[in-house]
Amino acid sequence: MNLGYAILLLLHILLFVYWLGADLGVFYSAWLLVDPKLTIETRQTVMKIVHFIDLFPRMALVLTLPVGITLALAGGYASLPPDWARPVLSFIWVASLAWLTLVIKLYNGVFPRLLGLDYWIRYAAIAALTVFGVASLLGHGPVAPGATWLAAKVLIFAAIVALGLGIRSAFRPFATAFGRLAAHGSTPEVEAAMRRAHARVRPVVLSLWGALIVEAFLGLSKV
């Protein structure tokens, strides 16, 4: 194993660690946000912490794509025509870093009109990953014939991106209700709306964690 490959592998592992670890912090903090025994000021402080921590899973999702693709090509688990490999990989990294910049800007409230672009990028990623994963399982994709575990990882990652969109959709009513809580104080209706949204988000988050763990298992075992 050369040094470059080892560094990429370490980065791949760290992305998983920070993704799942940060998600655990957000998940626990969300229980505090729906605790009516806490003051509004305390819950607002918790929300600020959640807002900061939640950036790391978003960054990890974006960076996992170029790092994972580079590892697959460098390890011989996937291949491209020799004349295509370098330009395709360069395009993937440039596009991913541009997407990462967009994600960070949107997260900090900059360029809100470009939110739709972020959604379309995710839809495109889901479609492309699904096509490549299925094609590879059928023996027609870039994944090497013996690396069905990698084709499965590609398909699971498509599902993870979709689950991320599901979390956004399920969380939207929570954000609206929390805004009403901060602006007008606690009412039974606001508290109930927050609890309902929180309950809807939980199974989607747990499904995403399960998918991440399966991804890690496949990458380590290569079965």
What is the reported pLDDT for 163?
A: 97
CB 56 within 8 A of CB 4: no
SS3 content of the chain, % helix, strand, coil (to 5): 85, 0, 15
pLDDT tens by residue, 43-92: 999 999 999 999 999 999 999 999 999 999 999 999 988 899 899 999 99
DSSP state of 78: B
CB-CB neighbours of 128 under 10 Å: 13
Minimal CA–CA distance to 50: which of 19, 23, 18? 23
Range of the domain at 204: 3-221
What is the reported pLDDT for 176?
A: 94
The number of CA neighbours under 13 Å toward the Cβ of 88 is 11
**Alpha-carbon dihedral angle through residues 29, 174, 63, 212, given to the nearest 10 degrees:** 70
Two structure tokens written together for 96: 């991913």
Using CA atoms, how far apart are residues 29 and 47, in angstroms rounded to an integer?
8
Q: Which residues of the chain have pLDDT under 50?
A: none
Number of domains in the chain: 1
pTM here is 0.94
CB 102 within 8 A of CB 114: yes
